[in-house]
Structure 1
């Protein structure tokens, strides 16, 4: 992120989208890149546009805001999520999805200003962190030694009981670092979570095969084993892989 914060507004009510878009125009750092009328559309547009922030209505038909947030958290670049609703009782649940903020409708100009300030502060800190990490290698401690692995050489990773196992072109490695932490460190690269216990490098994906109950199996380059893709991640995975 440079000086512009890309924003996606997802709300099934046009009046609410227009109202929020109007309030956000007051901030030079904010650029509303698109709008979505449904949860499904919000996910697809988030995958293709990679917004920094998604303002997400909680109450939408078919796929509500909480379900959308769950899918967005599986993306390579997870946007900040700002929930918006007329119902304050959803606030506690919203923060289970690591929401950055929670706005009540009708929108209050001062509350929106405070939310934008919070967004600016958080994204500036994140941008500095990513700039430092992009040039580095993943450090793994093994038998008292520190091994440095090129992120581009990692094929996939998975959680096995109390350790994370890393499968790379140079071999397999074991670390006590959690999968969530590994995902955070490798955020600037082409990694994608396909299951709560699996993280894959999209550069090595060669085939996606239907399995059962909406789940799929993933084939990786130069690997015989098939990896399970949870049905919750299939739609976002296909959107990332396909042109």
Structure 2
């Protein structure tokens, strides 16, 4: 029996690399690929694969959104997550009936993963309901640390801790990252790059409108199409700050908002 699998990743090189590695296994067949959460859900429902290699961090909806949207679908495939999450998250994966692989992909780790998948599919097949419960437990575990995320900022020589919901948007400036709340601006403390800040806030409703700006989607007052395919945002801070969504990120922005 061949294991029918789907690869979900927004980056073509990552999909190509994993497809190549999987081609070494006679009992594995890649039957489809998707580059977004929405396409992944549609594809999985259509072809009902045995296994899905699922990237966690994608523009717009992420890998966990895929699991949530498949709730109640039968048969539910097994999932292998591509992750760069911390040790807490890895522990949650290890305790569940799914598996994970770290990027960049390791052939040795892939061997171990596929061995486990074979056992689950052939020697220890799980009922769809059991897998649904396991995946929900995983989502709950992944949600726990996100609730306590804080952002460290500096003002007048003192360090303050902000909750994500207090932040309207973040911007890269010449003096570092600035954190904008409703009526104040702080200097980021302890995180030097926007990539790291975006990763730190991965569980909160933030979106990169372009490389230098990260916005809180809950703090957008209104938005409208702008010139050259861009979007213009008006935030709900005291200054009604206007920000731009770059043309290349408009599609992901609309997907994130479900429009």
TM-score, with structure 1 as normaliser: 0.54
Cα distance, 1:203–1:132 mapped onto 2, change above 3 Å: same
**Given the superposition, is the C-alpha separation of residues 207 and 38 from structure 1 closer, same or farther in structure 2, using an over 3 Å criterion?**
same
2:105 pairs with 1:101:
yes
Out of 180, 192, 195, the position equivalent to 1:180 is 195
Picking from 31, 39, 45, the partner of 1:45 is 39
Task: Count the aligned residue pairs.
Answer: 175
Equivalent position of 2:159 in the other structure? 146
Partner of 1:90: none
Any idea what the Cα deviations from partners look like across 1:196-231, whole Å, max 9, x if unmatched? 001011111232222222221112224423111111
Unaligned runs of 5+ in 1: 1-6, 25-34, 57-68, 83-97, 104-108, 117-126
**Relative to 1, partners in 2 of residues 1:199 and 1:152: Cα closer, same or farther, differing over 3 Å?**
same
1:195 maps to 2:201: no
Mapping 1:201-220, distance limit 5 Å = 201-220=216-235
Unaligned runs of 5+ in 2: 10-18, 44-50, 65-80, 84-101, 118-139
Structure 2 distance, partners of 1:217, 1:166, is 20
1:230 aligns with 2:234: no
| Match in the other structure for 2:147 | 134
- Of structures 1 and 2, the larger Rg is shown by 2
8 Å contact kept, 1:48–1:239? no
Coordinate RMSD, CA, aligned: 4.5
Of structures 1 and 2, the one with the larger relative CO (CA 8 A, separation 6+) is 1
Return closer, same or farther for 1:46/1:134 CA change in 2, 3 Å cut-off.
farther
Deviation by residue 1:42-66 (Cα, 9 ceiling, x = unmatched): 35335999xxx9748xxxxxxxxxx
Q: Paired residue for 1:91?
A: none
